[in-house]
Amino acid sequence: MECSFQTSLLLFITVSYFVVTESIKPNRMAMKLIHRESVARLNPNARVPITPEDHIKHLTDISSARFKYLQNSIDKELGSSNFQVDVQQAIKTSLFLVNFSVGQPPVPQLTIMDTGSSLLWIQCQPCKHCSSDHMIHPVFNPALSSTFVECSCDDRFCRYAPNGHCGSSNKCVYEQVYISGTGSKGVLAKERLTFTTPNGNTVVTQPIAFGCGYENGEQLESHFTGILGLGAKPTSLAVQLGSKFSYCIGDLANKNYGYNQLVLGDDADILGDPTPIEFETENSIYYMNLEGISVGDTQLNIEPVVFKRRGPRTGVILDSGTLYTWLADIAYRELYNEIKSILDPKLERFWFRDFLCYHGRVSEELIGFPVVTFHFAGGAELAMEATSMFYPLSEPNTFNVFCMSVKPTKEHGGEYKEFTAIGLMAQQYYNIGYDLKEKNIYLQRIDCVQLDDYSPSK
């Protein structure tokens, strides 16, 4: 048998009163995406940005840390012997969180959505250095769950776990090494996940493989209980629940926008025009085929080969974590020069390092600004209006500044100058649908309220 049940006297007692309403491989599991800024302030002692320079540096640090996390993930897939993932970067930079519960009886979780990794893992008891003092929900104790299953070394999921290997008592142990802190170690296990549907019913999934982390270092000094990986490996929750998933992102500037949504299962929202993606089951990352960029009716002079995945650290991905878009150097210079030629004659520059920033408000100064469009293979497009191309920096009665939300990847080293990561600013008011069986991503511009399962209109 691949997995072995943990038992205790309390385990059998809990079974007697807990009733599972349904246990299935759900076709559609809709979950609210929770904006991280809507959760209580993670570090009350953190310095609050005051000046425009403070705001720019703060946002850039966040997006740069996320890009570093992606770099590390890509280097791992290349088999780098000195690879270390810094999960702290993912925690500090990821914008959206997901709520669900684990075990029977269900224990609530608040996890980070991450399309750049392929394992759902949470903190578990007994736990070294857990962040329970900072968390909204209690740390999951598998000894109290009637459905917790530890996976053996020969379980098929074990080979896909981070540094998965055989531990004591034939348990599959995963070990995620971090750049800072003591790392995360635990067992690969299987457990049922509980979701609350829009009509208030409770749905419990089939047993899902996940990482039960007993030693998580000090990285998780926050409200988060773990990371929900939606990458391409078999351990990904998206893969285990079917071959499709989708997410819809609305207004990022409004932390209380209530219609951001993640949908897992084969009835996910697969809408709009498809474009092919490349991935392997050994690789967590989805690559796209970007063919060109236009500004209004002007097609930028960028050869399609700039965006081709033609070797290590090249190609284009759509990222769920970074705020900025990090553009291949040649493409960035073309876009930068075109935007600058449009705005410089009309607006006053705000000078800070090499950022393209201007005085004023996006809603006033950029009325009629041409749409910037990313053109993908197959005809799919990602069209960005001014609110997706520029982020506002303002303080009442003090300053109003806005900056372009695109940066060159060469800032992270010359070896990444031909790599592109399209960030969340560019994905505003889009539904992004993944069909892993057909190997397509579908892009549909839409107000997420039209798709939201919790909307009164549905």
Positive or negative CA dihedral for 148, 119, 445, 437?
negative
Q: Which of 411, 429, 427 is nearest to 419 (CA)?
A: 411
Q: Are 242 and 266 in contact (CB under 8 A)?
A: yes
Positive or negative CA dihedral for 332, 112, 52, 347?
positive
Beta strand 419-422 with 315-318 is: parallel
Place of tokens 């491989």: 25
Cis? peptide before 106, omega within 30° of 0: no
pLDDT at 80: 38
Place of tokens 């038992």: 7
pLDDT at 72: 58
Chain centroid to Cα 456, Å, comes to: 27
Q: How far is Cα 360 from Cα 310, in angstroms, rounded to an integer?
A: 41
296: alpha, beta or left? (left if phi > 0; alpha if psi -120 to 50): left
Tell me which DSSP letter residue 215 carries: E
pLDDT at 254: 83
> DSSP 3-state assignment of 190?
strand
Question: Which two three-digit tokens encode residue 118?
Answer: 């392929």
pLDDT at 252: 86
Q: What is the pTM of this model?
A: 0.84
| pLDDT tens digits along 149-198 | 999 999 999 988 888 889 888 999 987 654 334 446 899 999 999 987 66
Ranges of residues in the chain with a pLDDT under 70 are: 1-25, 40-94, 129-136, 176-184, 197-199, 217-222, 280-283, 394-399, 412-414, 452, 454-458
Q: Count other Cβ atoms within 10 Å, centred on residue 138.
A: 12
Q: Could you tell me how many residues make up the chain? A: 458
pLDDT at 448: 92
Beta bridge partners of 276: 440
pLDDT at 395: 57
